[in-house]
Amino acid sequence: MSETPFQRQVKEKWTVQYEEMNFPAIQKGWVLPVDRWQDFDPFILMAEDWFKRGTFPDHPHRGFQTVTYVIDGRLEHIDNAGGREILEPGDVQYMNAGWAARHAEDGVENDIAHTLQLWLNLPKDKKDTDTIYQNIYGEEAPTVTFEGGQIKVFSGNVAGVKGPMDSIVPITLSEVQLSEGADFHLDLPENHNAFLYVLSGELEVGTDATSMKKHDVATLHYVEEGSREKRSELYLKSNRRRTKVLVYSGEPIRENIVPYGPFVMNSMEEIKQAYRDFHDGKFGPPAI
């Protein structure tokens, strides 16, 4: 007899609050607030931004990864290794900043770019890894259809398929779409810390049927001493047409970190060294 998988429930829920920004930035909201990384481990923060060209010019990073999901508009990514790509709605970009990333992220022409950017920690022994950029276009992510909906898998092994994202720290990232009345059991490793964000519609989440709507975020209970090989189930049921939700999960790293400016290290001395290295030109030329 097979063992019944751990059933996920909502641990905490909140609604994202937004603030107007100074042009060319337009609006920002914190999906995952910046000061709660211990609760979200291995995730550090997630920002939702609306912006035009000139908001995020050339800048450095070290010690973590980013996962950027484009909701609307077009996003141009430029890095100082010669990369220049345009991402459109439904596309995802993964970046391992590693030892020294230097890039720019901009709206294209007169577009308002609307993005979600997740910061994902790197363990101490991987903070000096090579810088990597990977674009995952929406049509390249495998899609599994079911009655009343579909799931698109960008990262990890979910719903019997493997997403193309090749992150240094393995995570799962899935986009689930449901019509009114449709439901789905999403499988996740039981030891993964997980959260979800509602892009549209309204749904019930978990065995406790927590009601969530657009702009709502929820963290989920998980088996802290569990196994990455064992699965857990997250129940989702839509109560409106065109419900779309993003689900992220990752295994906690359980290391103390210092997020400061564009860097995420394990001590303030390492943060100071990162600034010295940047000012000494060790991050390479500007991304233009």
**Region 266-283 average pLDDT:** 98
Angle at 55 between CA 128 and CA 170, to 5 degrees: 35
Say which amino acid occupies 183: D
Element (H, E) at 183: strand 183-189
**DSSP track, 9-64:** -EEEEEE--EEE--TTEEEEEEEE-TT-HHHHTTEEEEEEEEE-TTSEEEEEEBSE
- Over pLDDT 90: what percentage of the chain? 95
45-81 confidence digits (pLDDT tens): 999 999 999 999 999 999 999 999 999 999 999 999 8
Q: pLDDT tens digits, residue range 116-167?
A: 999 999 999 999 999 999 999 999 999 999 999 999 999 999 999 999 999 9
Burial class (CB in 10 A: 0-12, 13-18, 19+), 123: middle
Q: What pTM does this model have?
A: 0.96
Joined together, the tokens standing for residue 98 give 């590693």
The CATH number assigned to the domain with range 6-250 reads 2.60.120.10
How far is Cα 67 from Cα 238, in angstroms, rounded to an integer? 26
Which pLDDT score is estimated for 146?
A: 97
Which two structure tokens, joined as six digits, stand for 64?
């973590």
Does residue 275 surpass a pLDDT of 90?
A: yes
Q: What is the DSSP letter of 69?
A: E
Q: How confident is the model at residue 2 (pLDDT cuts 50, 70, 90)?
A: low
Domain-wise residue ranges, the chain: 6-250
pLDDT (tens digit per residue) in 75-105: 999 999 888 999 999 999 999 999 999 999 9
- Tokens of residue 75, six digits: 């996003």
Backbone angles phi, psi at 17, to 5 degrees: -105, 140
pLDDT tens for 194-220 read 999 999 999 999 999 999 999 999 999
Across the range 227-253, mean pLDDT stands at 96
CA separation for the pair 121, 248 (Å, rounded)? 14
Number of H helices, E strands in the chain: 2, 27
What are 26's two structure tokens?
A: 């337009």
Angstrom distances, CA of residue 62 to CA of 38, 67, 73, 76, 199: 19, 14, 27, 21, 29
CA atoms of 99 and 4, how far apart (whole Å): 42
What is residue 133's three-state secondary structure? strand
At residue 1 the predicted structure's pLDDT band, cuts being 50, 70 and 90, is: very low
> Which whole number is the average pLDDT over 238-259?
96
Secondary structure (DSSP) of 72-94: ES-EEEEETTS-EEEE-TT-EEE
Going by pLDDT thresholds of 50, 70 and 90, the confidence category of residue 247 is: very high
Q: What average pLDDT does this structure show over 224-232?
A: 92
